[in-house]
Chain A
Amino acid sequence: MKYIEQEIVLKKMNVRNLINSLFKGIFLMAVVITLLALLILLYRIGSQGYTHLSMDFLTNFASRFPAQAGIKAALVGSLWLMAIVAPTSLILGVGSAIYLEEYAKKNKITDFIRVNISNLAGVPSIVFGLLGLTIFVRALSLGTSILAAGFTMSLLILPVIIVASQEAIRSVPGELRDASYGMGATKWQTILKIILPAAIPGILTGAILALSRAIGETAPLIVIGVPIIIQFLPSGVMDTFTALPMQIYDWSSRPQQEFQAVAAAGIIVLMAVLLFMNSIAVLIRNKYHKRY
């Protein structure tokens, strides 16, 4: 008596193949729909914005007249913002992740902290804006400066960076730690030379997603009182500034039709900045990408 009858197997084979191709189709459709939506978005923005895109657009300050409106202050402001947010959030985020994964004892308290960091990632950004307003703008009297906004944005994206870094650190094989400790390396040497290099690709993936969010957020900036129209460039981190999403939001909410094209041009600049950040991340990732 055989348990597997060839005839029955063959009969069911057709159905199995059908289901197999059905699912392939479903997944393909998902990709096509997503890409299509993205393409339409890009086309709309591109076709609207390219007319206004020029060197002048990058070098002019904001203006009441659409034809002269430029993005200089916002672009430079956003770069300043990133210069604060990237190091602050990376140092604090990766540091916390290293502590939680490599140093902290596994107990109820650290479990509680771990769960709640993930929950923080879901808190609306406006709440972080209020936090930043209370702590940085008022209590620490930083005012509506680049520094205050940078710290606020860092807090906002910190949970995402911590969680992504924790995942990346946890996925470093335990055998590599064993090998390092087994040779008399200290914990810090093991972290610096073995764990971090192996975890960097994962950490960067999370960090770039988080930084992209920070560069596109408006709500926390509005709450801490970042202005829109600014006719000068900041000369230091204590200066006030404006940022790309604020400027874009302002243009797109103006009644004149011409400003819609200006807004679209602003979005193109924002996307170019994102693309630039992403390519840096890919470069670093490739440098560290090694297989086990």
Chain B
Amino acid sequence: MTMNSSAITSDTVMEKELGNSKSVYKTNQLNLWYGSNHALKNIDLDIRENEVTAIIGPSGCGKSTYIKTLNRMVELVPSVKTSGEILYRGRNIFEKSYGVEELRTRVGMVFQKPNPFPKSIYDNVAYGPRIHGIKNKKILDEIVEKSLRGAAIWDEVKDRLNENAYSVSGGQQQRICIARALAIEPDVILMDEPTSALDPISTLKIEELVQELKKDYSIIIVTHNMQQAARISDKTAFFLNGEVVEYDKTDTIFSNPSDKRTEDYISGRFG
């Protein structure tokens, strides 16, 4: 009983702070170990629909680990063990019956280093739809165009769809990777420092794109660049040593953080 009522009060407090949009991902008491390395500690996070949620923190604090847990990519590391739960649209992704392939069809991912396949631009974007069984050339054509438009790269590559994806610049490759993720028509897009390998202009393009994409998708983005978090996100979670120190509206985190460590980090005193 007491447990229950306290849960309700903490939920109501959260509601007030985070607004009352729908929850996409709800992480409850998540712990994760790489062998004996306790990389994530008692994470509680409530991630909302059609928002950009930024995850910031010094390197090694567990940002990538957390975001890779959301689509269970982290399980590719054999030594990983987890406890706690992550509810995606209300269903625990650690449930035995939850297929990872199914989860990853709903949750697209963009990685730190642009990683197109050594195939044509077209085949890169069509990869997802094809593995999910779409063979019709006309439908594939439409998906490819729509996804490339969605990733704001259609005009730059529409005449060279059959060229190798590695023949374009790094910034363009990253947008092709975003298009590739859009092509599976996901609900959520995870991005792990998507601009850290890019020049300032490409970075700007991707930041604008993220703003555009949040109308249709929920976006969770890891960044080590605090200005970037401040510019593009609605909510920010500050991670430190595997814990969430503070999670709040981005404005609040950057103008009026409630934890001394958050303040120290965003004012550049460590990290």
What residues of chain A have their CB less than 8 Å away from a CB belonging to chain B? 105-106, 173, 175-186, 189, 193-194, 197-198, 290-292
Contact = CB atoms under 8 A, between A and B. Distances in A.
B118 A193 contact: no
A258 to B, nearest CB: 55
A181 B104 contact: yes
Contacts of B117: 176, 179-180, 194
Nearest to A291: B166
A184 B111 contact: no
B101 A184 contact: yes
A176 B78 contact: no
Contacts of A179: 111, 115-117, 177, 180
B88 interface: no
Contacts of A181: 73, 76, 104
Interface in B114-150: 115-119, 127-128, 131-132
Nearest to A189: B131
B71 interface: yes
18 contacts: A179-B180, A180-B117, A180-B127, A181-B104, A183-B104, A183-B109, A183-B180, A183-B184, A184-B101, A184-B103, A184-B104, A184-B131, A185-B101, A186-B131, A193-B131, A198-B118, A291-B118, A291-B166
Contact of B131 (A105, A177, A185): A185
A106 B76 CA distance: 13
B160 to A, nearest CB: 16
A22 B113 CA distance: 41
Contacts of B164: 290-291
A184 B73 contact: no
Contacts of B229: none
A185 B105 CA distance: 9
- A178, A179, A193, A194: residue with the most chain B Cβ atoms closer than 10 Å: A179
B161 to A, nearest CB: 16
Given A105-B78, A175-B113, A178-B73, A183 B128 contact: yes
Contacts of A197: 118
Nearest to B115: A175
A25 B164 CA distance: 39
Nearest to A192: B131
B78 A184 contact: no
A103 to B, nearest CB: 12
Given A176-B117, A194-B117, A183 B127 contact: yes
B108 A183 contact: yes
Given A106-B78, A290-B119, A182 B127 contact: no
A182 B108 CA distance: 7
A202 to B, nearest CB: 13
A176 to B, nearest CB: 6
Given A175-B111, A179-B111, A184 B105 contact: yes
Given A183-B108, A184-B128, A184-B131, A176 B181 contact: no
Interface string B156-170: 000000001010000
A66 B101 CA distance: 68
Given A175-B115, A198-B118, 19 more contacts: A173-B115, A175-B113, A177-B76, A178-B73, A178-B109, A178-B111, A179-B177, A182-B71, A182-B104, A182-B109, A183-B104, A183-B180, A183-B181, A184-B104, A184-B184, A185-B131, A193-B131, A290-B164, A292-B118
